[in-house]
């Protein structure tokens, strides 16, 4: 199984690893049966709704660690709405690709981000959650990252009706 230089770099030198103790949102995702588990914690500026810090803890393979690392880099400094534009496809592209059997790791990263954002809005009911967050969460809940065929782990906006 060949990994890109970018995947290897993020596996060997993961960025933003750890946990934010007083996080505004926490996303716990994964499947303990397959072994990939991820916790993504975010700190959001209440005035600008900009993600000012993001950390991850991942138990899994090198690809799971690399996708967790890259998604933190992709969303740090973005507003909540901008972060919602990051998909598993974005993660794969930024990493220079993933082997087909590891595509589920990119979905784990996207699911972790969405779960952390959902938790942020649950903790802050005075904030209005963007409608696209609810749609994305619904779509991701209906996808089995380890389901039959490679397509199951390659969800993006174009697949929202499936």
Could you list the pLDDT tens digit for every one of the 162 residues in the chain? 689 999 999 999 999 999 999 999 999 999 777 688 999 999 999 999 999 999 999 999 999 999 999 999 999 999 999 999 999 999 999 999 999 999 999 999 999 999 999 999 999 999 999 999 999 999 998 876 665 444 444 444 444 333
Q: If we measure between CA atoms, which residue out of 82, 87, 48 comes closest to residue 70?
A: 87
Can you name the residues that pair with 30 across neighbouring β-strands? 37
Beta strand 36-44 with 51-59: parallel, antiparallel or unpaired? antiparallel
Active site residues: 34, 105
The structure's pTM equals 0.88
The CA distance from 158 to 160, in Å, is 6
Domains of the chain by start residue, with CATH: 5-152 (3.90.1010.10)
- Please state, in angstroms and as integers, the Cα–Cα distance from residue 10 to each residue in 5, 14, 32, 59, 126, following that order: 9, 5, 23, 15, 36
Q: If we measure between CA atoms, which residue out of 34, 41, 85, 86 comes closest to residue 63?
A: 34
């Amino acid at each position: 199984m060949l990994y890109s230089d970018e995947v290897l770099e993020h596996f060997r030198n993961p960025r933003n690893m750890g946990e934010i103790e007083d996080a505004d949102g926490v996303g716990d995702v994964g499947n303990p049966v397959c072994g990939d588990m991820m916790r993504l914690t975010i700190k959001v500026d209440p005035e600008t709704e900009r993600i000012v810090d993001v950390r991850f803890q991942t138990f899994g393979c090198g690809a799971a660690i690399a996708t967790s690392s890259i998604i933190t880099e992709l969303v740090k400094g973005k507003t909540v709405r901008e972060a919602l534009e990051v998909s598993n496809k974005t993660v794969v592209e930024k990493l220079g690709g993933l082997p087909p059997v590891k595509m589920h790791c990119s979905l784990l990263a996207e699911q972790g981000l969405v779960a952390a954002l959902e938790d942020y809005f649950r903790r802050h009911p005075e904030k209005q959650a963007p409608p696209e967050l609810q749609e994305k969460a619904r779509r991701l809940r209906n996808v089995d990252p380890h389901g039959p065929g490679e397509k199951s782990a390659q969800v993006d906006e174009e697949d929202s009706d499936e």
